[in-house]
Structure 1
């Protein structure tokens, strides 16, 4: 990141669900309930940027794709075999067809994914 300004944007439902404090110079915190940082989503709280790298729930990544189509996003999906044989990690593409997240991904240009078809959540990722 030499010569670049890096801003880390971290969001969660509540302050209790945020990770520990960061050593990063520029951090934007966002909580759905407003208990720490900006009230609302991390996507809404994020400043404008020339380059966006994002990870998190697919629903959030779809919002990233709307705001920054060229963002690089790491999708959340099942990866059963890790070799692409089982097709459990299929990622629908806007151009048609699918990629396998375990072999061609899991990082994609946000605008390349068909967010209407990709599952917005995975049962194992849900916290109570």
Structure 2
């Protein structure tokens, strides 16, 4: 079991984070696997070195849409029962998970390692954020 950095982030949370990230990657890539096949040639687009930058640009697009939805308090146009920012953030998760799944990036252990580092970073502590020059967000 992985050690935890604070009382708020438990060993159970660590295990759930890794499992959840791995599930998100697996499921979202399954949902979108057909976008990695050229519809005209049948070519596997994962072999194209430009696909990672293209997919990252699509993630950026979803983040920009989330920003705009938040800026305007817009409800989503396709799912009007939800705030637009919620839907766009789900799109971000879907696109990141799909990219990681397609490229076989093992993000679960990385998420745990990054969470542990962030939990112990001095510049993330409230007292340091409150100081002059500290991070507001």
State TM-score, norm by structure 1. Answer: 0.26
Q: Which structure dedicates a bigger proportion of its chain to strand?
A: 1
Q: Which structure dedicates a bigger proportion of its chain to helix?
A: 2
Structure possessing the higher radius of gyration over alpha carbons = 2
